[in-house]
Structure 1
Amino acid sequence: MSGVQTRKVKADEEGMRLDRWFKAHFPQVRHGELEKYLRKGQVRVAGGRVKANRRLETGEEIRIPPLSNAPTEKKPRQPNKTDAEAVRRLIIFEDDEIMALNKPFGLAVQGGSKTKEHLDGMLAALEKNGERPRLVHRLDKDTGGLMIVAKTRQAAQRLGDAFKGHDVEKTYWALVAGAPRPYEGTIDMPIAKKMVRIGEGEEERVIPAEGEDAKKAITDYQIIEEAGTVSFLAMRPVTGRTHQLRVHAAAIGCPIIGDGKYGGPSAKIEGVSPQLHLFCRSMTFPHPKTGRNMTLSAPLQGHMLETWKFFCFGKNAKVEWPEDLHS
């Protein structure tokens, strides 16, 4: 058991929720335990009782009671010159407010109990004058492609609001088994934390979720090119559920190649990398300073670039989505 601690909120933690601050500093403390500490007034901010969703301000003191489940705090991965150089190699666009990165496949965006190397930790190496680049959205570890990073607290807040308010249009590229029919359309299928598969072999399918934890999920898609038993598919998530594109592709019988979790045996094909073939190609979003929409695209990379060369797919293919499809 450790004693009572007092920590000050750093400049780069401005606006962070208390529960997320706790998760970053004390990952061994479960959310339920934190809620218990808050109810009893054992965790306080600026001397007062608060709730888990309280937004922190620079310089505020956080009272931390004796914690079980030592160690008392996760030691952060120390940023260094190597991290800074690695991040800079990923930059495909930069101005005073944002950076756009082309995230490699296999690089985690945030840390966890078994993840020491991650983008969030690497960004700390670019801290300047008390400001460090901030994540405003996520990509799965196994997904590559475009990521927008805020360079200031104000930019992070405005971009965060844009992502939450569905003011960002994302286009993903995927290699899928088979070819969906019709050639373009919308998948409207609820998703839950645990999805169910039925059938066997080529008839295996992910089916819609039911129950209280099922959440509405919508994805637009269109075939760009076909090559025998696979297709180059463009996908646009209208909602932002966890693993939405992977679940929806599997549900229509065209799992993303390399997605063994939802696609099963159908997600494997000979002669192609077994890694997940899902890439965030582009985003259209309001610039945090001007408010005007801008579109950025990331060039295809890694194993997906090799696969595109193998099938002679266009690596600079243009994708146009119907306007006001969901208005």
Structure 2
Amino acid sequence: ETFSSRNNLFRHLKNTDEVHVRQDQAEPAQESTKKRKTLAADEGICTVSEDAEWYRLVVKPQGLATMGPKGMTLLKSDKLLLPDAIKLQLSYKKAVPCHRLDRATGGIMLCSKSKLAERILYACFRYKLVQKKYLAIVVGKLEPAEGIIDTPISGKAALTKYSVSSYTPSKQYGWITTVELWPITGKNHQLRRHLQSVGHSIVGDKRYSMPTLWSHIVRTPIDSMFLWAVEIVFPHPQYCTELVPSSAEELDVPDLSAKMDDENSSDDEEAEEELELLDQGAGHGENSSAIGRSRAEVAAE
């Protein structure tokens, strides 16, 4: 029985000893679009190669953060679990990322399997013994075909070496350029900001796109940013003198040029705030140790 007012309910309670309360079951909430995209991104994590006791190379898909307190991240993924951790007496139960990629950037990442390996690989990054190569598609015709971008970032020196692979006519932008990038320093969002500074922002990068392209990008949105980490070369943490290369040939890298044929793809969400830069440059000792401790705690869980 239902009641039109509180007074009617009270009068009913005085005249009866039985009260029946009905609670309608709420319909289960549907998963948000953002959550579905994050779960799909987690499924894209795969292992490229690994050493039994020292490191693992994985592919981080676009749309997945490397680490952070909210939502699914690479560090929280079960894809980094080490099934032989007890057998091999490893200090970590999960492989731990030794560097980071922006949420919107996909590609190869280096992870450590123990605290010792993590410290050695951190030192390799800090003293610039690790070489990384990226592949990007940028707006316009990037000229000259090779060189170094040295635009300061946040008042600090920053260097990026680049080499053009090809120029392609585009209905949207007139020309697009496929370019290989080698960051010499490791500033926050360095590649994206450097390419914007020379007037050739990365296709699909709404955060660091040129102001003249804002309205154009809104009219014809791109579903992802055209930036991918395709190669990393680093000293083996056990031998130190032996370099371990891992190139794009081992990766299932999306055909970025083919994706440009469809220039009316679905919209994507605007990039969120990224994490602070990890150990990719000198002068961050205190921050690096704090982050290292937090990641170690997660890995040992």
- Alignment TM class, shorter chain as reference: 0.5 to 0.7
Distance 1:309-1:160 versus aligned 2 partners, 3 A rule:
farther
Whole-Å separation in 2 of the counterparts to 1:184 and 1:174: 14
Distance 1:302-1:219 versus aligned 2 partners, 3 A rule:
same
> Cα deviations across residues 14-60 of structure 1 (Å, max 9, x unaligned)?
xxxxxxxxxxxxxxxxxxxxxxxxxxxxxxxxxxxxxxxxxxxxxxx
* Residue range with higher mean Cα deviation, 239-248 or 296-305: 296-305
Q: Which one of the candidate residues 177, 181, 196 is aligned to 1:235?
A: 181
Whole-Å separation in 2 of the counterparts to 1:116 and 1:158: 29
Alignment match, 2:76: 121
User: How does 1:52-201 map onto structure 2 within 5 Å?
Assistant: 86=43, 90-96=46-52, 97-112=54-69, 115-122=70-77, 125-126=81-82, 128-129=85-86, 130-132=91-93, 133-192=95-154
Whole-Å separation in 1 of the counterparts to 2:260 and 2:115: 38
Deviating beyond 4 angstroms after TM superposition, the runs of 4 or more aligned structure 1 residues are 267-272, 308-311
- List runs of 5+ in structure 1 lacking aligned partners: 1-81, 193-213, 312-327
> Cα deviations across residues 90-123 of structure 1 (Å, max 9, x unaligned)?
10111121111111001111023xx220111115
Residue 289 of structure 2 is aligned to residue 289 of structure 1: no
TM-score normalised according to structure 1 size: 0.57
Aligned residues with identical type, % of pairs: 29
Alpha-carbon RMSD across the aligned residues, in angstroms, is: 2.8
Whole-Å separation in 1 of the counterparts to 2:260 and 2:55: 30
Whole-Å separation in 1 of the counterparts to 2:255 and 2:163: 22
Once the 2 structures are TM-superposed, how far is the Cα of residue 182 of structure 1 from its aligned partner?
A: 0.9
How many correspondences in the alignment? 205
Amino acid at match of 1:217: A
**CA contact 1:92–1:102 (8 Å) conserved in 2:** yes
Whole-Å separation in 2 of the counterparts to 1:233 and 1:266: 20
**CA contact 1:189–1:216 (8 Å) conserved in 2:** yes
Residue 179 of structure 2 is aligned to residue 218 of structure 1: no
- List runs of 5+ in structure 2 lacking aligned partners: 1-38, 170-174, 264-301
**CA contact 1:189–1:248 (8 Å) conserved in 2:** yes
Once the 2 structures are TM-superposed, how far is the Cα of residue 301 of structure 1 from its aligned partner?
A: 3.2
